[in-house]
Structure 1
C-alpha cells in the first residue's frame, strides 16, 4: 500500500478512473464523488509471456520489486497456464482468472510484440478497466484489429503500445518500466510520445523543485490507445496538476488535435494552467521512419514544423530541449509571465531550426525506411496487375491521388484522397472506415471520395473497384500505406500512373508473417551504414548535406531532438542514431564504428539519458570503445540520469580526448566548436 496521504491516493484513483472509462465525461473534482471509486492506480495485475522467464524471471522480478517499493499495489502476475506464488504474490494462469480472484483495476502487459494483441484481447474480454501495453514492434494490423474491438465497448481503455506506461508520482504507483529515481511528487502533469524525452522532462521538473503529479506516455506507436487530448482533459480537472507539459514528434495528427483543444481551453477558462510543449523531428528528413514505429508522416499528415506552429499559436510555450522545461515552468507558475503566454524568453524558440521541405511525388520517392519496407514502383505495379488493376507505367501526367493508410485519430484504416498529384495536407481529405469492412461496392463513402477528387460520376464504379483492390492488398499483405497517382486513359478509363507501397516491418520481424513481401527488399541498394547498424539493433539514418557532427543517442525521440537542438545552435549533423532505450557498452562501440565510417564526421556528440541504463555503464562503454577503435575524432559526452555524476567523473578522469557535460547548452557549444 502506498505511503502517500489518503487524499492523494483518492485523487490518483479518480484520475485513473477517467483514464479507464473511454466515454466518461471529464471528472469534475468539485462535483459529487462516485458511489464507488475503482481506484485503478491501486490494484494492478502484471501480465507476462508464457516463457521460462515470465513473472518469475529476472527482469520481471526486478520490475516488481521496484514497483512494490515505490508503492504500487500489485495483486499478482499472469503467466499463461501456470499457477503458484512469487514474491509473496499469486501467479494466475490467465487474466480471466486474475479478474475473478483479485479484481484488478489495471493490467500491465509486458509480453513481446507478437503476443501483445492476444494479451490485450484477453484483458478486454475480462473487462479490465485500464490496460497498459509497453511492447515495441506490435504489428500494425494486430493493433487495428484491437482498436476495432475497443470501439465496440466502454469498459476498457488502452494506454500504449510502445510506451513506458503511466506513473503517479503523488499516488506512488508505476504501471510500466519508468526510471523511478527521476520522479518526485509534485505539480506538473506530463504527456509524451517519447520515453527518453519524457524522462528528460521529468528530470528537469524534478531538478527545478516542481515534481510531477501524473505522467502519461502516449507512446510512439502508430495507433496509440490514449492520446494527448485524453491526457489534457485529465490534467485540466486535476487539482494536483498546476502546469502541463506535452512532448510530441513527427507522425500523425495528435499534436494538431492537442493544439485545437488548448486553443478552446484557453478561450473558455479564466485562468488556464500554463502549458509548455516540444516537438521532435523538425530536422527529420522526409520519407523516413525515425526510430519509433509511428514516427513517420502518412499522406496528407502535417510535418513537425506545422505541429510546432499550431501549438505555439494555440498558446503553448515552446522549448527546443526538454531540460528547459523545469525552469521554464517554474517561471510560468511563479507569476513572472502570464500563464500560457508565449513571451517567455528563457524557453528558447525552435524557429531558427525550421526549413522548408520540398514535397516529392509518391512515385518519385526512393528513400528506404526502417521499421517498414517500401518496395520499388515496378514491384507495386506487379501487385496491382495481379489484382487486375489497370496500370499505365509510361503515363507522363496524373490527375489526382488516392491512398489507403491509417487514420491515427479515428484509430482505423482510411482512404486519403487529393484532387492533386501530391498529398498536400491542405487539399487532402481523410475518409476513415471500419477495419472489419469487406466491400466498398455501393458504399456512400466512394461518392464522397469521388466528389472531393473531382472524379466524374461515370468513373465512380472504377474508383470503387480500385479502392476495393487497394484495401484487399492493404489487409492481405499488412501494408501501412498504399499511395497511388491516378488519371484517365484515352478511352476515359481510370488507370494508375504511380504507386508507392509500404508494408509493416513488425509483421515480419516480430511475427514472421509476410515473408514473400519482405524478400523483395534489396539491401545492396541501401546505405551500407544503415544496413550494418540494423544488424546490431541500432537505428541509423544518414543525413544529407555537409554534416560534420556525428550523433549517438539512446531513444528515438531524444535522438530526433538532439539533431533539432544542435541545428538550432548552428551545428550540422551527419546522422540520426538511436541505440535503443537500453544502450549497452557493445551497442555504444558499434555505434561509434558506424558513425566514424562517415568521412564527413569531425566530432561525435554522445547524448545519453541514463534512465533504465546507468550512466557509469555507458561511460565505461564509451571509454572502451574509444580505445578499442583507436578513435581519431574528439567526443563530447552529455550524461544525465542514473549515476550521472559517476559517469561524468569516469569520462573526465579517463585521460582521453573526451569532454563530459551534464547541461545540453554547454555541450552543444563545445561539439559545434570542435566540429568546425
Structure 2
C-alpha cells in the first residue's frame, strides 16, 4: 500500500521510450570476481579530470544545471538527445549515449529526465559502459531499480549514484554532477556521504562558515535501494589523498549505517592514523510504521532504528552530533586533535567565513524516551480491505484461513527488498509472534531477473525450521514462496508477507495474516498497476491528507508526546477543562526535505521536551524539494488545522528551493490563510539574504533567524509563553 508522498518529477526534458521490463541486448563486461560491481567504486573519485555528459541535455532542467555547473568549472563535454544532433550551450549533442561514449569519451553522465523516462536512460548508460551514472530523479519505481541492479551486478564498468539523490560533487576539483547549491561549497579536505540532500547542504554550510572546506561529497539518496551506499563511499574516502576527515549523514531505514559502523571498526583497527569520522542520524521522533518522506525512510523487519544506528556508530568511535549545523566546530576540533595535515587544509582558499553556529559542548543521544517496539505493518495511503487482500492472494493460488488457535508453532515468510544486497529477498522467520519476529527474521537475497532458486528457497525453509516438516507441508511452503514472488513481481509490491502454521491433522500449511505493501511510484510515475491503484479506498483518506497529497506535501501529524519524566504533554500545562483535552503548546514544523524535517523534529524534542521547556513537534512536514509559494501557503493551512499547535517553525535550507520564494509563500499564508499563531523562520542557503529582506519588508509578526539554535530557542520561548534558557 502506498507511501504518502507524490511520485513525480516536474521536467520538460526529452522523452525516452517506455522500457518497462526491457531486457538489454548488450553484452556486459564481467570479471571473474564474485562482486564485479565493487570494482567500480573507484569511479566515484571525480574531479577536474572528469568529463561529464548530460542525458536529457536540451531539456529545461538539464540546460540550467549544465550552464551553472560549467560556469563553476565542471568539464561538461556534451550531451545526448535521442535522435538529435548539433550543438547546445556550445557543446555537441549526440543521438545516443553509445555515440557519446565513442566520440566524447565521458567519465560520467548526469541523467536529467523525469522518473518515467529515467529507467531507460540508466539502462542505456549501462549498456554504453559509462563509468559513473548519476540519477537524480525521485520516484523511480522500486522494481525498475531492482532490475537495474540485476544488470549492474553482472558487470564491472559502470557505477550508479542514486536514484533520488542530489548527486556527487568535488568541491576541491570543481566538478558537480547533481543539483547541489554551489555557493554553499568551498574547497577543502572533508569527505561527506549522505542520504539526505538538505542535511548534506546543512553540513556543507556549517563547514564552510567555519572555514573548513570539502573534498568529495556523495549523496547516495533516500530510496529503498541505493546504487552507492555508505561503505562504498568510505572506501573511496580512505584512499583519497584529498580527504583528511569524514562525515556520515544517515537516517532511519535500511542497515547501511550499521554496515558503515562495522567497516569503521575494522578501519580503526588496521590503520595507524585513521581519519576522524563524525556523523548525524535523523528519525528518532519518526512514528513507527510511517514512510517518512524519502521512499526508503521506514524501518523494515530486522532493520535497526535510528537509536540503534546511533549507538552502532558511536561504539565504532564515531563522533556523534545531533544537528549538522554543529559540524563546523566539531570537525575543526577533531582535525586539530588528529595530527593529520591541518596545514594543508588551512592553505586552501576558503569561502568568506560568516558567524558560525554554536560549537558542540556535549555529545548525547538526541532521544530521551524509550523506543516502542516496531510494528510489522507500514501505515500507508492505499488501503486494501481484508476481502480485497484475500481476493488478490487467491488469484495467485494463495488461500487464506483464519489464524489457527491451537497450532504448535507459527512461521513467517514473504518477499521483501534486501537493501544491502540491492535485490529482492525471501524474508523468513521461525515464528510469527510479533514480540520475537523482529529479532529472528532473516533475508535470503536472490537475483531479480532469475527469481528465487531452489537453493535459496530451501535455505529460507530451513531458517523457518520447516526443513523437517512433513513432505507435503514443505512442498506447499516452497510453492507458497514461488506464488508470493509471482505476485510481488507482477503487482510491483515492496513487501508481500504472510504467517503460516502446519496443520497437525492434515500435514499441510495454513496461511493467514497477510501483509501487502505496494509501490505507488509504479502508478504515479509510470501509470502501471492502474487496477491495483483503483482499489484505493478514498473514503478512508481525510481531507487534510488528501490536500497534502494533492500539493505534493508529506504531512504526518505526530501523537501527543510522553516526556522523559513520564508525564504526558497535557499534564505539564495548566489543567485542561477536560481530562481528554489535547495539549495546546506544540510546535508546527514546516521544512523542505525529508531528512531535514526528521532532524528538525529530533532537535526540537532534545532541546525543548525537558524543563525549563515542555514542548515538542506536532507534525512532520516535508514541502518537497521543489516547493513553491503555493506549497508553503498550503503547508501553513495544514499545520494550523491542528489545534495543538501554538507556534509555527519554518526551517529551510535552500538548494533547489529558493529562500526568497519561501518568504513570499509565508507572506501569502498570512494574507490568504490567516496566520494567528507566532511564526519563527530560519532561512539558510540559496538566496537567503533576499529571503530575509522579503520577510523584513513585509512588516509581519515573524521572528526571522539564520542561526538554527537561536531559532529553536525562540520557538521554545513562544511555545511556553516566556523566556527560558535553551538546553544544549
**TM-score (normalizing by structure 1):** 0.89
What is residue 579 of structure 2 aligned with on the other side?
Answer: none
Alignment pair present for 1:557 and 2:559: no
Write out per-residue CA displacement over residues 436-476 of structure 1, whole angstroms, 9 at most, x where no aligned residue: 22465xx1223222221122332221110110110000001
Listed as ranges, the matches of 1:192-591 within 5 Å are 192-335=194-337, 346=361, 348-360=363-375, 362=376, 365=377, 368-369=379-380, 373=382, 375-396=384-405, 399-421=410-432, 422=434, 424-438=437-451, 440=453, 443-455=454-466, 456-458=468-470, 459-489=473-503, 490-545=505-560, 546=583, 548-569=586-607, 570=609, 571-591=615-635
Offset at 1:554? 0.4
- Paired residues of 2:284 and 2:602 also in contact (CA < 8 A): yes
Q: Report the count of equivalent residues.
A: 631
- Paired residues of 1:376 and 1:500 also in contact (CA < 8 A): no
Aligned to 1:236, the other structure's residue is in SS state helix
Offset at 1:543? 1.2
Aligned to 2:82, the other structure's residue is in SS state coil
Aligned to 1:56, the other structure's residue is in SS state coil
Change (3 A) 1:518 1:347: farther
Aligned to 1:307, the other structure's residue is in SS state helix
Among 630, 651, 663, the residue aligned to 2:707? 663
Change (3 A) 1:439 1:229: closer
Offset at 1:56? 2.9
Write out per-residue CA displacement over residues 279-308 of structure 1, whole angstroms, 9 at most, x where no aligned residue: 111111111111111112222221211111
What is residue 568 of structure 2 aligned with on the other side?
Answer: none
CA distance in 1, matches of 2:38, 2:333: 36
CA distance in 1, matches of 2:595, 2:661: 22
CA distance in 1, matches of 2:698, 2:647: 18
Offset at 1:420? 2.1
- Paired residues of 2:215 and 2:242 also in contact (CA < 8 A): yes
- Paired residues of 1:375 and 1:500 also in contact (CA < 8 A): no
Offset at 1:527? 3.7
Change (3 A) 1:27 1:631: closer
Write out per-residue CA displacement over residues 62-117 of structure 1, whole angstroms, 9 at most, x where no aligned residue: 21111111111111111111111111111111111111111111111111111111
What is residue 7 of structure 1 aligned with on the other side?
Answer: none
Change (3 A) 1:439 1:185: closer
- Paired residues of 1:167 and 1:176 also in contact (CA < 8 A): yes
CA distance in 2, matches of 1:337, 1:353: 35
- Paired residues of 2:289 and 2:374 also in contact (CA < 8 A): no
- Paired residues of 1:170 and 1:186 also in contact (CA < 8 A): yes
Aligned to 2:648, the other structure's residue is in SS state strand
CA distance in 2, matches of 1:25, 1:578: 34
Aligned to 2:528, the other structure's residue is in SS state coil
The CA RMSD measured in Å over matched residues stands at 2.3
What is residue 94 of structure 2 aligned with on the other side?
Answer: 92
CA distance in 1, matches of 2:185, 2:159: 25
CA distance in 2, matches of 1:568, 1:298: 25
- Paired residues of 1:283 and 1:354 also in contact (CA < 8 A): no
What is residue 109 of structure 1 aligned with on the other side?
Answer: 111
State the structure with bigger RCO (CA 8 A, min sep 6), 1 or 2: 2
- Paired residues of 1:188 and 1:242 also in contact (CA < 8 A): yes
Among 24, 37, 51, the residue aligned to 1:43? 51
Alignment pair present for 1:624 and 2:668: yes
Offset at 1:139? 0.6
Write out per-residue CA displacement over residues 239-298 of structure 1, whole angstroms, 9 at most, x where no aligned residue: 211110000111111111101001111111121111111111111111111111111222
CA distance in 2, matches of 1:584, 1:229: 36
Listed as ranges, the matches of 1:24-63 within 5 Å are 24=39, 42-48=50-56, 55-63=57-65
CA distance in 1, matches of 2:142, 2:370: 31
Aligned to 2:439, the other structure's residue is in SS state coil
Change (3 A) 1:26 1:558: closer
Offset at 1:41? 5.1
Offset at 1:667? 1.2
CA distance in 1, matches of 2:242, 2:596: 28
Instruction: Judge which range, 397-406 or 160-169, deviates more.
Output: 397-406
Aligned to 2:260, the other structure's residue is in SS state helix
Alignment pair present for 1:647 and 2:691: yes
CA distance in 1, matches of 2:586, 2:628: 25
- Paired residues of 2:302 and 2:438 also in contact (CA < 8 A): yes
- Paired residues of 1:324 and 1:347 also in contact (CA < 8 A): no
- Paired residues of 1:21 and 1:156 also in contact (CA < 8 A): no
- Paired residues of 1:197 and 1:557 also in contact (CA < 8 A): yes
Change (3 A) 1:354 1:138: farther
Offset at 1:432? 0.4
- Paired residues of 2:659 and 2:691 also in contact (CA < 8 A): yes
Write out per-residue CA displacement over residues 590-644 of structure 1, whole angstroms, 9 at most, x where no aligned residue: 1001111111111111001112222122112212211222211111111111222
What is residue 347 of structure 2 aligned with on the other side?
Answer: none
CA distance in 2, matches of 1:387, 1:624: 52
Listed as ranges, the matches of 1:81-230 within 5 Å are 81-230=83-232
Aligned to 1:540, the other structure's residue is in SS state strand
Alignment pair present for 1:635 and 2:712: no
- Paired residues of 1:162 and 1:220 also in contact (CA < 8 A): yes
- Paired residues of 1:140 and 1:222 also in contact (CA < 8 A): yes
Offset at 1:418? 1.2
CA distance in 1, matches of 2:132, 2:452: 34
Write out per-residue CA displacement over residues 527-572 of structure 1, whole angstroms, 9 at most, x where no aligned residue: 4322210001111111112572111000111111111111111232
- Paired residues of 1:447 and 1:460 also in contact (CA < 8 A): no
